[in-house]
Amino acid sequence: MQQPDADVRFFREMYRELRGRGPKLLREDFCGSFGVCCEWVKLGPGYRAYGRDLGAAPLAYGRKTFLPKLTPEQRSRVRIERKDVLAPGGPKSDLIMAMNFSYFVFKERAALKAYFKNCRRNLRPGGVLAMDCFGGGGVHRPNKESTVHPRFTYYWEQYDYDPVYNTARCAMHFKPKGGRKVRDVFTYDWRVWTLAEIRELLAEAGFRRSHVYWEGDDGRRGNGKFARDENGGREEIWIAMVAAEK
């Protein structure tokens, strides 16, 4: 699950480290309930956010839940569109974020390359595309994990793995404290892209360079802190971030 406030700080820092200046205009592709956009505009008056998603339900949830928590001035710096991420248009951005492995929805090389090309077109010169990725030997078989939060327990389950197409069906379940577990609240049918494939496609789409960031751990599980490194990924299942420079 995303932690939009931590994500925007991490990606702003990552951009600064790569570009030597701060990003101002963020594009959040597959924005869903656009929590990241809402956190972005809270960073300061010069920060603007543009979010895009095809789903009416998550967009409506964001309008009901997150937008009202912003001040009118902050709200004026958020723009959301219900549109395919492959469609042209939208403002040219400093930073594009494609989080929650959402681009895994593209199952074929040509489709992912077309998406990366579109991202490149939507970036200002020197802009950065950032996304998360998961992998490791553990994703080659069914797996699950749970995290207890104060008001609910969150479950992640990967149902299967297809070695021919490198695809997996995954789901999120939730159990409110004292309530019954609700299964398959969100379900995904994904191609599990490898970092090597992603970086090759980024280069083919015209990105100058790409970098991998690995998550640190607190001894038991990932701690949500990522550092640039070409030698990570020893865990059974890992999460990494990828950043590509235009």
Residue 172 Cβ, how far from ligand SAM at the closest point, in Å?
9
99 contributes a contact to ligand SAM by CB under 6 A: yes
| Sheet with 143-148, side-by-side order of all strands | 143-148, 152-158, 167-176, 182-191
Q: CA 227 to CA 231: how far, in whole Å?
A: 11
Distance CA 189, CA 170 (A): 7
Q: Beta partners for 244?
A: 129, 210
- Please identify, among the stretches 8-16, 94-102, 118-126, 138-146, the one whose residues bind ligand SAM according to the rule CB under 6 A: 94-102
Stretch that binds ligand SAM, among 31-39, 40-48, 66-74, 138-146 (CB under 6 A): 31-39
Q: Total number of residues binding ligand SAM (CB under 6 A)?
A: 18
* Residue 30 binds ligand SAM, judged by CB under 6 A: yes
32 binds ligand SAM (CB under 6 A): yes
Residue 168: C-alpha distances to residues 104, 107, 162 (Å): 10, 11, 6
Q: How far is the CB of 156 from ligand SAM (least distance, A)?
A: 12
Q: How far is CA 51 from CA 78, 145, 202, 226, in A?
A: 8, 30, 22, 24
Is 58 near ligand SAM (CB under 6 A)? yes
Q: DSSP code of 162?
A: B
Which part of the chain contacts ligand SAM (CB under 6 A), choosing from 15-23, 29-37, 124-132, 148-156? 29-37
Site residues, ligand SAM (CB under 6 A): 2, 30-33, 35, 52-55, 58, 84-86, 99-100, 102, 105
